[in-house]
Structure 1
């Protein structure tokens, strides 16, 4: 906690921030500078609550980038992350300049402090040194921050108290007594001036969110960063209120000398106050040097804690495929982002040299432009918190206030500040030190050009970096069933929830496959990995399952054939050999896929199930008890991994039983798989509403916020065929029995009102029963099923499947199956535990369908 608070305070850089912006605030609002610095605390505190609640739901070092992506999608998320990068990189240039100048002043080299070349060289050295400190580890960085911050806070408080004492004991000519009007915001001359002052005030608070950027490296990452952030903003408020009041009382707001309104001191109001407050001899000289050292260490501490969130934001963006993946590499010893830290240090150096080479005016205006990036980033985060938790705001008053109202107000205030400052205050050519002639717009303030221009670069880069996510998501959804088929065996509903982070678009899928004999195949699967590769693999496997399912394979045999397909594909791709139970090096994306396949028979009420891998599950809710249970399924290895053979288990299901097939992503929000399954069981036990409504309740209850990984839920309610829809006969293996079964079939078709199908059905039954008697013998079963088609099934004890062939003109046989194929819509063979079943389907007219 102490290190997190220290990082939040140090990143804000109280001494540096006051030195760089207090003069700007005074120039805008005059004597009301203290209240303006305090008013800027309000939106910061509101946004801090947004950060706290989002971090509690998902501690990710990408912060705004990650949370905005999950709340609004990859485009808004990218811009939120880009806002962080822009603010951090630009402020690094200013921090380096301040550190270089104060380093020379501390050494008494005032001439070098005003030399552009030497301050640039020294600034580059400081950035390199601080980058190295951040690179060797977070614990070392935190230790450095604690020492630097303690020195900074102590000297800052001593300075503020000494200044106030001087005002009332030995005041300088510029001194003015503290007045209540200083704390009245209505005394500010205009809304424009107030907005400019508050936005500058936002800059001095900025940085407390560093504690969130290192949340994944923090003990109790869900709570400590949030508490540290709120504590940091409150401590900053107290320090800024004290220092701004005492400095204004001591130096006044005059435009000459040490006055805060002096434009020559606007970018550094503290350097000339040390000797004025403490004196220039003995202890006073030492304290004045400590004040310079304090501003130097503040700039250094702020620069160091700017590198930390910058590197970790880029690291998170790389993990989520928003920037090149090399930025996600971690040093094996130091455990810090290699490219994220060193790369961002190099980019900061390049920008610092670029801005310094133009002029100090541009460098000065870049400070104000940082305020736009900050307001944009914080505004996005406030709205993201509100939208992220929108489904649970009504859960309690606390959720409504801290997850909805406060973050929403913080986001709104930041958005208004951003728009008003960018297009009214900073756009004025008279504001700041630079102006630019823009085509079609005219002369525009340099602060707006720098701030909006930097954000516009992110807009231009956005299509390139978000295209992959959009294509993957479109491919994924395009490969899933557009709608589930209506079937006599089950009523079904489904939900697919794609992950909201950029890497999460994966390969979860579900399917409902009509099979012969009115049976139905149910499948859910989970492909490892993310992006286009996982989506393409999912499409390939879904097609493979549908093809194998049409062969009427048992669930365990289907998974065995599917894993053979996976291994063959991997072998053809050059994945290389593997040993039992070992994953192939450089393996195909399908290796390690989890899949659950079930076949339900609405005639018998039996359901055969087999499973490959663990991240898929099945829950059953019997209608009698209404209590969800997870049946024990035989374990099976993921596809392509090898190991034990797959086994099927058979469940006896009552009519109106509820089955829920799901991938593990549905349980991700719970504390462990068991807790997630218990929550799912409670949702399934609620029997209100249709299956579609129950799916919605399940997803809302299990995934109240955006998902880390994609999730799939397939919910089905079983049915039994009415006894009037099917009939079965046992046939003796004698030639005379053929005429008997033909007569029975004709009578049944007459009872069903399907007499027009009697001739073709008699021919089909005669051919199939005759072949069974001639080539197999033994018990024979004949079954008719009247569903959306007329199904005829002939079962025997043989294990040899007949094959369709085209008989020559002089052949005496071999035309039976050919005739059957011409007279039916579908036909096929499926194997059973006791032999095989040959089945045919004939189309029915709409009026004949029950």
Structure 2
């Protein structure tokens, strides 16, 4: 749809002729001669909220509108209530529209007796709702074509009515006529604040519906801009139309309580049908025009009903996609490309509510119609606040952003909130207001409009735990699987941010990790499991645990990813076997795509070894120049898919280098991956700022609003160990070298003030060096590192790993490693390109820090 069709949808959804016919009399009864200005005052919050819709749609075009935007701004619980408010308002008004169309259809053919029959009106309303549901089901293009013709006829008839009424007022005025006065447009002459509030809320109802242009944005050309322009144009056109018709009708009929007077209670629910013949006359042409006016009111009700089904079905579609309602409501018809369950289901719900409320009480049905204003004010107010909170990080970017993304939507939200609270607890709560009253426990008699309106919204609160349980469970699982606090590391300073997806299915499979390794090295990890919800979170937890285990075995990054790839394949195979899907499919077809980047940094040498699975790369910022680089690592397939072998790449990092590991979700708002990476590099260039501030700044700039996908950022600022923190010796394969290294070890521990560890450390060194000389040969390297523990490393050229065993009583050897294991906190072996390193860690005495 283009701009014209979008404007037509917005105007038709409000049902101008129907809205005026049903509301103008109520306005006059409440505010008297100030009815025209009240209809114009209601335009102000509508325009402000229209700007909120425009800005939110430009940032995130989604047919779920309030539901989607409130979810992104405030979370799934608030979003659900926004969507529920829209559902309540639309379903209730569908019932009223069906009844109005049925009654006018009978009056059009001269069967006023049937128009007064509850049974026949209900039957005809069911037929109308079913017919309109079928039209909407056929497709948006057909619906838009129908609306264009209906709206043109409707606007033409309203214009003719307004002009004819004003001409008669000043040419041949009826007894009820009064000339237009400036006092009609003075809001301070409204009798009371209560009258003004109820009048503005009724005015809000007659403007309601322009947001249909946003609900069908996925079928609109340039969906980010056209709906916003259409909404603003629709509200302005409605202002002109309502101001003209309300003024002319009041000037012609007056505000009397008898005859054709707008204050006549008998005409309050339908003022246009009684005015038609009086304005157009009793001639053949006049009778034809009066009949056409009745036809237009009926067509207006039908058009409004049709355009109510469209946004309602698409809101439910969006809620189903985000897992807030059953997934079947997200099904799309292959031919018509319309939401099957959403369209048919909402039509059926409207019919069911019509039958239920009609059979129960006509008075309850009347009060439920008045209560629609509460749901409208709630939904629109929430959207205004969502716009401000959604764009809170960019409000200071420019005056334009501050005004259109902050000030105007915020004012609209405050006005709607004030209307909602005052109407709910002051105006509508009065037992004398409306047609029913309910005696509530602990509260007493309360107006039926408040009971019905607030009760319908509270039903959404009751359903809230059920519909958000999946999101809460997935988020709780995800949070429990991620590291809560990153432990301090000697190798680098680290900080991280994780932003879960804001949709109803909740978080996905992003993770990060910082893994302490032997020799003061550290492992840095980010990964992403494709998808959302419990399945992705559970898969992430399994892979994260597997990677930690493999990393603690001191495997190289490429070897870690190779074995993690086997684990991912095994997970996919077990899942498929559990579901009984027949023959085993090829590996790439059954895998859940997983990307992962694993880096190991050594603060002694300054080397960083990295390997990747999938399209994921780091950003490295030079500490001296602030220049950012994205090193091109050897490509590797996603985990579980199979393909090329993984390869490691080595980087030399100067002290203070900043390395950023992140998932693709961090760049989702950028124009492209390269543009997002370049922006991240610029944001991290200020090496003087604290790491946490840099992390917050990067997230705020790259993701100014809520996110569709999980986003993870892990920052590490590298350090080098001070030369005074370690000592190393190179030894020949000579047994005499054992004594010299024992002496050097004792002296070094004395310099560090660790005399208490001298005996055990010398024993460890002599045992490991002796074994290296006996079983491998030279050269041999010994290194002592004083960090949070005392680390001893012996490197040789062998590739066989020693095994710990219990020596028999008659064995002459085999007790060395057993003794070492008893005297150390941890020990292990890691392999290098030229051999292996056997390392041990001893706990420092309490009086010694790192």
- Which residue in the other structure is 1:184 paired with? 186
Deviates more, 1:254-263 or 1:192-201: 254-263
- Which residue in the other structure is 1:699 paired with? 699
Deviation, structure 1 residue 579: 6.2
Deviates more, 1:442-451 or 1:8-17: 442-451
Q: Say if 1:520 and 1:567 are closer, same or farther in 2 by CA, change over 3 A.
A: same
Gaps of 5+ in 1: none
Q: Deviations over 1:345-377 (max 9, x none)?
A: 110110111122233332222221000000011
Number of corresponding residues: 844
Q: Aligned partners of 1:398, 1:688: CA distance in 2, in Å?
A: 32
- Which residue in the other structure is 1:583 paired with? 589
Out of 573, 576, 583, the residue aligned to residue 575 of structure 2 is 573
Out of 90, 115, 118, the residue aligned to residue 117 of structure 2 is 115
Q: Aligned partners of 1:820, 1:427: CA distance in 2, in Å?
A: 81
- Which residue in the other structure is 1:820 paired with? 820
Structure 2 matches for 1:278-677, cutoff 5 A? 278-575=280-577, 582-584=588-590, 591-614=592-615, 616-677=616-677
Instruction: Provide the secondary structure at the position in 1 that maps to 2:642.
Output: coil
Instruction: Provide the secondary structure at the position in 1 that maps to 2:396.
Output: helix
Q: Aligned partners of 1:15, 1:564: CA distance in 2, in Å?
A: 67
Q: Aligned partners of 2:602, 2:453: CA distance in 1, in Å?
A: 65
Deviation, structure 1 residue 784: 1.4
- Which residue in the other structure is 1:782 paired with? 782
Deviation, structure 1 residue 778: 3.9
Instruction: Provide the secondary structure at the position in 1 that maps to 2:624.
Output: coil
- Which residue in the other structure is 2:797 paired with? 797
Q: Say if 1:358 and 1:269 are closer, same or farther in 2 by CA, change over 3 A.
A: farther
Q: Would the aligned equivalents of 2:470 and 2:506 in 1 still touch at CA under 8 Å? A: no
Q: Aligned partners of 1:78, 1:121: CA distance in 2, in Å?
A: 33
Q: Aligned partners of 1:643, 1:279: CA distance in 2, in Å?
A: 84
Q: Aligned partners of 1:273, 1:312: CA distance in 2, in Å?
A: 37
Deviation, structure 1 residue 47: 0.8
Q: Aligned partners of 1:526, 1:59: CA distance in 2, in Å?
A: 25
Q: Would the aligned equivalents of 1:392 and 1:399 in 2 still touch at CA under 8 Å? A: yes
Out of 56, 61, 64, the residue aligned to residue 63 of structure 2 is 61
Deviates more, 1:123-132 or 1:106-115: 106-115
Q: Say if 1:581 and 1:635 are closer, same or farther in 2 by CA, change over 3 A.
A: farther
Instruction: Provide the secondary structure at the position in 2 that maps to 1:709.
Output: coil
Q: Aligned partners of 1:67, 1:539: CA distance in 2, in Å?
A: 30
Q: Would the aligned equivalents of 2:14 and 2:304 in 1 still touch at CA under 8 Å? A: yes
Q: Would the aligned equivalents of 1:385 and 1:404 in 2 still touch at CA under 8 Å? A: yes
Deviates more, 1:406-415 or 1:639-648: 639-648
Q: Aligned partners of 1:617, 1:475: CA distance in 2, in Å?
A: 27
Q: Aligned partners of 1:362, 1:286: CA distance in 2, in Å?
A: 36
Q: Aligned partners of 1:581, 1:807: CA distance in 2, in Å?
A: 46
Deviates more, 1:595-604 or 1:256-265: 256-265
Gaps of 5+ in 2: none
Deviation, structure 1 residue 736: 2.7
Instruction: Provide the secondary structure at the position in 2 that maps to 1:222.
Output: coil
Q: Aligned partners of 1:429, 1:257: CA distance in 2, in Å?
A: 29
Deviates more, 1:750-759 or 1:107-116: 750-759
Structure 2 matches for 1:670-689, cutoff 5 A? 670-689=670-689
Instruction: Provide the secondary structure at the position in 2 that maps to 1:227.
Output: helix
Q: Deviations over 1:122-148 (max 9, x none)?
A: 111111111111112111111111111
Deviation, structure 1 residue 735: 2.5
Q: Deviations over 1:799-836 (max 9, x none)?
A: 21111111222222221111110010010011111121
Q: Would the aligned equivalents of 1:581 and 1:643 in 2 still touch at CA under 8 Å? A: no
- Which residue in the other structure is 1:209 paired with? 211
Instruction: Provide the secondary structure at the position in 2 that maps to 1:707.
Output: coil
Deviation, structure 1 residue 846: 4.4
Normalised by the length of structure 1, the TM-score is 0.97
Instruction: Provide the secondary structure at the position in 1 that maps to 2:655.
Output: coil
Deviation, structure 1 residue 213: 0.8
Deviates more, 1:772-781 or 1:229-238: 772-781
Q: Aligned partners of 1:752, 1:190: CA distance in 2, in Å?
A: 85
Q: Aligned partners of 2:359, 2:267: CA distance in 1, in Å?
A: 21
Q: Would the aligned equivalents of 2:617 and 2:631 in 1 still touch at CA under 8 Å? A: no
Q: Deviations over 1:542-590 (max 9, x none)?
A: 1111111100011111011111111112222335676667221xx5xxx
